[in-house]
Amino acid sequence: MAINPLSLDFLTQKPGMAARVLQSLEAQESAIYLANDIPIRVVAPVIEKIESWPAARILECMPLDKTCAVLSVLKYPVVAAIMRLVDQQQRQLIVEHLPSQLVNALKRSLSYPEDTVGAWMDDLTPHFSRELTVGDCLAVLKKAQQSFELIVVINDKHAIDGVISPSALLISAPQRKLKEITDSGCVALAANNSLPVAKKAEGWRRYNTLPVRDSNDIFAGTINRTALMSAMLMSQPARKTTPEDTLLAHLSSAMVATATGLLAITTSGMGTARTEGNSDDRKR
């Protein structure tokens, strides 16, 4: 099918605006559009501007050869961020067709010793650009159809800019940018930190989930208190669980359930609220 020259011009001249449009569509729809004989040199800058979670979903739906071609020309931090969020089975298939140098770098960034934070972190946690608006962030979260314990905000180099609690996101005006409500005082854990070192982090005083960075300071995932405690118990089978550990695990689970439940209820109701609002407008 022939490409509309205007559409090609739009992608070429305004990749940022094109990215915002494409990430608002269903992944399959965006994938079909981008796979429609559009040159890689045009597709790549657009994918780079799309938030990592929708970008991963779109690339999963594109033909394998085109997905690999796009990933091969993107900057490494972007590739690492997207590949971390790709379905594991699809990830393995993609890796088999990428340049060996890139594959080796990805393997190093996704593999950690069992006694480190990196081995126990949730590497499927999405992250969001500091320039994204609250409204657009909530729209992406709604499409993800899963709850999140912490919203991680990154800069243009994919380094961690800070974090936002679900409650802070929900009470913020939709037009505000994430960088305006980000808590930049939350220090990320290093993925190669030992579990005992991670347990002593100051961030646990304020959050039940902390962001994790890799050796290049790129966002790598998150780890919550419960996962950390479980990891420590599994790595030290002879150690008895202390009352403090048990209490902290129960408290963190309860607080996470409350916050993520509220976010899930709000994002799932966005469509309903919008429909009711439109209905009221028609009545007037």
- Looking at the predicted structure, is the pLDDT value of residue 178 above 90? yes
- The pTM (predicted TM-score) of the whole model is 0.73
C-alpha dist (Å) from residue 154 to 131, 132, 165, 186, 211: 9, 10, 15, 13, 11
Closest among 185, 201, 206 to 252, alpha carbons compared: 206
Beta bridge partners of 224: 209
Closest among 100, 89, 101, 43 to 67, alpha carbons compared: 43
C-alpha dist (Å) from residue 170 to 143, 221, 263: 16, 22, 7
Distance CA 194, CA 116 (A): 4
The predicted pLDDT at position 39 comes to: 93
- Mean pLDDT, residues 12-27 taken together: 92
pLDDT-derived band at 94 (thresholds 50, 70, 90) equals very high
Percent of the chain with pLDDT over 90: 64
Who has greater pLDDT, 83 or 4? 83
Name every residue whose Cβ is closer than 8 Å to that of residue 50 and which is 6 or more positions away in sequence.
19, 22, 23, 58
Tokens matching residue 279: 């209905």
Could you give the residue ranges of the DSSP H alpha helices within 50-164?
A: 52-61, 64-73, 76-85, 88-95, 100-110, 134-144
